Structure 1
Amino acid sequence: MNSASPDPTDGAVSDATPDLVAFRQAFRRHAAGVAIVTAQREDGTPVGFTATSLASLAAVPPLATFNMALSASSWPAIAETDRVVIHTLGVRNREVAQILSGDNQQRFLGDHWYRGPHGLPVIRDTTAWMVGRILERTQVHNSAVVIVQIEEGALGEDDAPLVYHERTYWRPGTPV
């Protein structure tokens, strides 16, 4: 890893510390599956975001985890709600991944979602979705780790997984 200077295209200041530079460079090279997490505010307004931090935590009981910044526009809803919907994405979902990572006011305009269990927003045509009850929210610096127990869900049509790598969405290549 070259830690001499930060990537000028990442908005970093020229005096970025070597640890920050190393972290950014390494995690850009770490490919991650893309997911969408949705919830609703107390007034019923849908919220959601694109995440690359989704992971399974345990099979019994079925637990999943994701991370998010406390400054994220969806955090207030996640901090207050009991349930979320976690969606796994295929390559065909690239456009909706971009919508949910964009302007907060535009995320739920259109017919790419519907009200599902508990009135929660469910994204259409994903490879899978799971409704879960939030068990824990653990603050770590300016972020939170959210642990969810899965209660129900459904599979969609299979597709190559959508992967995020080097600030770009990808379709995985040939298995090795």
Structure 2
Amino acid sequence: MTLHAHAQQLDPRTLRDAFGAFPSGVVAVAASVKGQLAGIAASSFTSVSIDPPLVSFSISTTSSTWPLLREADRLGISVLADHHDAVCRQLAGPREERFAGLPFRVTDGGAVLLDEAVATYDCSVHEEVVAGDHVIVLLEVHEVGGGDGEHPLVFHRSAFAKLHRDDLDPARLDGRINGAEVDRGAEKTVAGHSADEDAA
């Protein structure tokens, strides 16, 4: 009760600005449902689990597109590339124009995947959790792939940005993140193959 009362006192604009301080990628969530293309852009995408393979994104409870998308057998997740700022805006526009002129493919299960994405995921809905004014959608990953994009689009402080690594240490992270070991790079070889050749 106390936490809820404190949360109600937060200024929405201040809270939104604080959320926006955390940079994220942007994905297209899309499918062909009953012969109709449907899709949205989401900046809340995140990996969740390796075993089983799960990812997630959040969608507003007021979304008029999610009720249609959730009926799809498979959902496509496409990580937008750094030249996709206009694509992101298009996916937030009128529903009938969201895929106009975009190169994409539709899988047998109905997942829509953008050709120029950095990475793609063919998923199905695993679970939905209502959380305040949003729904957290857990997706089971069935297939992953890549596209023609090289670097991801970044969303930060309500604006688009690109990755710049010129001033960063190029060495791979050596340690733990999210409580698990991270890829340490090709320091070791196994049967003639570098350690990261078979990494997901």
TM-score range, shorter chain: 0.7 to 0.9
- C-alpha change, 1:158 and 1:121, in structure 2 (3 Å) is closer
Structure 1 stretch displaced more, 98-107 or 130-139: 98-107
Per the TM alignment, residue 97 of structure 1 is displaced from its structure 2 partner at its CA by 1.7
Aligned mate of 1:28, from 6, 20, 24: 20
Aligned alpha-carbon RMSD (Å): 2.0
Q: Report how many aligned residue pairs link the two structures.
A: 160
- TM normalised by structure 1 equals 0.81
Per the TM alignment, residue 142 of structure 1 is displaced from its structure 2 partner at its CA by 2.9
Per the TM alignment, residue 158 of structure 1 is displaced from its structure 2 partner at its CA by 4.8
Mapped partners of 1:170, 1:164: distance in 2: 6
Mapped partners of 2:78, 2:14: distance in 1: 30
Q: In structure 2, give the amino acid aligned to 1:166.
A: R
Partner of 2:49: 58
User: What's the % identity of the aligned pairs?
Assistant: 26
> With CA pairs under 8 Å and 6+ residues apart, which has the higher RCO, 1 or 2?
1
Per the TM alignment, residue 100 of structure 1 is displaced from its structure 2 partner at its CA by 0.9
Partner of 1:136: 127
* Per-residue deviation, residues 154-175 of structure 1 (Å, max 9, x unmatched): 1123522210112111002223
Partner of 2:65: 74
Per the TM alignment, residue 79 of structure 1 is displaced from its structure 2 partner at its CA by 3.2
Task: State the secondary structure of the residue aligned to 1:91.
Answer: coil
- C-alpha change, 1:117 and 1:130, in structure 2 (3 Å) is farther
Structure 1 stretch displaced more, 148-157 or 78-87: 78-87
Task: State the secondary structure of the residue aligned to 2:84.
Answer: helix
Bigger Rg, structure 1 or 2: 2
Task: State the secondary structure of the residue aligned to 2:87.
Answer: helix
Mapped partners of 2:56, 2:79: distance in 1: 13
Q: In structure 1, give the amino acid aligned to 2:134.
A: S
Per the TM alignment, residue 28 of structure 1 is displaced from its structure 2 partner at its CA by 2.0
Q: In structure 2, give the amino acid aligned to 1:25.
A: D
4+ long deviations beyond 6 Å: none
Structure number having the greater helix percentage: 1
Structure 1 unaligned regions, length at least 5: 1-16
Cα pair 2:129 2:135 within 8 Å, conserved: yes
Per the TM alignment, residue 119 of structure 1 is displaced from its structure 2 partner at its CA by 3.0
Mapped partners of 2:110, 2:137: distance in 1: 21
Mapped partners of 2:32, 2:149: distance in 1: 27
Mapped partners of 1:120, 1:100: distance in 2: 16
Q: In structure 1, give the amino acid aligned to 2:25.
A: G
Partner of 1:9: none
- C-alpha change, 1:75 and 1:119, in structure 2 (3 Å) is closer
Counting only pairs closer than 5 Å after superposition, residues 146-161 of structure 1 correspond to structure 2 as 146-161=137-152
- TM normalised by structure 2 equals 0.72
Q: In structure 1, give the amino acid aligned to 2:28.
A: I
Cα pair 2:58 2:135 within 8 Å, conserved: yes
